[in-house]
């Protein structure tokens, strides 16, 4: 009997040891992806900075930024459950959620907003020797409208539509990333390209060093037409000196870059990530990238055209951002 009792004691002690070890073992890390854009744009570097900051601030989550094909492709990744979150343009997020344009019959109903980050500007760049000085001059030229299906291509088509132009009006059309488009202009294989990104954009900066370029303005009348037709656009000016040899301010239009997430991501995870964004992440983005300076809590819900994730909503209520917006809405009534 004593021997039997001794074995029972040993088994009990062993069980306690296993439980103690299990309780002291580190919790499993959750891996979380931010799908960004091409390496020559603004999404990729800002996404990398944010991913590092979030990993440092949220103990149980490892965040990684991966290069992607930007807005439209990123929304599709979220719909298919292949990425937890992504950077997208607000106009593309709107189309994705409501099943418009490229998303007809394929709406992304699991798309939710975490935050609006910064304005993304439509930058129209041409080789100086192409003799393009206005958008009326681009007919018959060699065009790069951005990656096929990207947010940049959506903007290109919207702007071309305002000038009654289609792809049939160009000598050639090649769908390429920002870096690919810049290379084509540098190699004299294209005349003009559209880039929707925060300025200064790395691909345009690098192109301007090797090639004489001009930024093409959008006519003021067309800006009014576009901003009236598409409420997610607003007028903006790219100030002179943004790029090498840019001697004039260039009027154009802008939309918001947004951080969106799959609705299936748990509320507590999104809450922690939202809190980390505004309590450390945004500051690191501002210190490391020029466009990061525009990432501000005050504009976190600007251009919101899709539902807010409940985890993000919890944070914005805690810091009174939603209360301020609701108060403004009541005053307007």
For 284, the domain range is 30-119+257-332
Residue with tokens 């390209």: 193
pLDDT of residue 219: 95
In which residue are the tokens 């065009």 written? 143
Looking at the structure, do residues 129 and 192 belong to the same domain, yes or no?
Answer: yes
Note the pLDDT of residue 223. Answer: 94
Of the residues 255, 271, 304, the one at which a domain ends: 255
120 has which bridge partners?
A: 255
How many structural domains does the chain have?
2
Domain assignment present for 212: yes
Note the pTM of the prediction, 2 decimals: 0.73
Does residue 174 sit in the same domain as residue 66?
A: no
Tell me: the pLDDT tens digits for 134-149? 999 999 999 999 988 7
Q: Are residues 124 and 108 in the same domain?
A: no
Residue 233 and residue 142 share a domain: yes
Structural domain includes residue 21: no
For residues 93 and 141, membership in a common domain is answered with no
Claim to verify: residue 171 and residue 211 sit in the same structural domain = yes
Does 238 lie in the same domain as 140?
yes
Residue 115 lies in a domain: yes
Cα separations (Å) of 239 from 60, 193, 218, 249?
Answer: 42, 19, 14, 5
Low-confidence spans in the chain with pLDDT less than 50:
1-25, 333
Residue 264 included in any domain: yes
Angle at 297 between CA 286 and CA 42, to 5 degrees: 40
Looking at residue 274, which CATH number applies to its domain? Answer: 3.40.190.10
Rounded CA-CA distance 118/92 in Å is 15
Measuring CA to CA, which residue among 129, 291, 265 is closest to residue 198?
A: 291
Q: What separation in angstroms does the CA of 333 have from each of 122, 205, 305, 330?
A: 33, 45, 20, 5
* 56 is a domain residue: yes
Q: Are residues 167 and 231 in the same domain?
A: yes
């Amino acid at each position: 009997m004593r021997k039997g009792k001794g074995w029972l004691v040993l088994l009990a002690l062993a069980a306690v040891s296993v439980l103690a070890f299990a309780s002291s073992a580190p919790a499993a890390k959750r891996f979380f992806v931010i799908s960004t854009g091409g390496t020559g744009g603004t999404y990729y570097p800002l996404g990398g900075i944010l991913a590092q900051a979030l990993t440092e601030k949220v103990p149980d989550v490892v965040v990684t930024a991966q290069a992607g094909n930007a807005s439209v492709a990123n929304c599709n990744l979220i719909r298919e459950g292949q990425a937890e979150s992504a950077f997208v343009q607000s106009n593309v997020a709107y189309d994705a959620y409501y099943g418009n344009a490229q998303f007809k019959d394929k709406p992304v109903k699991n798309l939710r907003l975490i935050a609006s980050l910064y304005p993304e500007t439509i930058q129209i760049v041409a080789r100086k020797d192409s003799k393009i000085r206005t958008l009326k001059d681009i007919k018959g030229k060699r065009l790069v409208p951005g990656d096929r299906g990207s947010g940049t291509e959506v903007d290109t088509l919207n702007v071309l539509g305002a000038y009654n132009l289609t792809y049939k009006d160009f000598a050639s059309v090649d769908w390429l990333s920002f870096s690919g488009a810049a290379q084509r202009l540098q190699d004299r294989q294209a005349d003009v390209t559209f880039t929707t990104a925060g300025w200064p954009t790395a691909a345009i900066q690098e192109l301007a060093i090797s090639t004489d370029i001009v930024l093409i303005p959008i006519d003021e009348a067309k800006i009014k037409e576009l901003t009236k037709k598409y409420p997610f656009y607003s007028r903006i000016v790219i100030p002179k000196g943004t790029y090498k040899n840019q001697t004039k301010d260039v009027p154009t239009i802008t939309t918001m870059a947004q951080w969106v997430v799959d609705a299936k991501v748990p509320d507590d995870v999104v809450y922690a990530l939202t809190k980390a964004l505004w309590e450390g992440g945004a500051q690191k983005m501002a210190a490391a990238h020029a466009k990061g300076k525009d990432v501000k809590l005050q504009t976190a819900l600007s251009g919101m055209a899709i539902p807010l994730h409940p985890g993000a909503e919890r944070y914005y209520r805690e810091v009174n951002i939603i209360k301020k917006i609701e108060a403004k809405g009541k005053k307007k009534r």
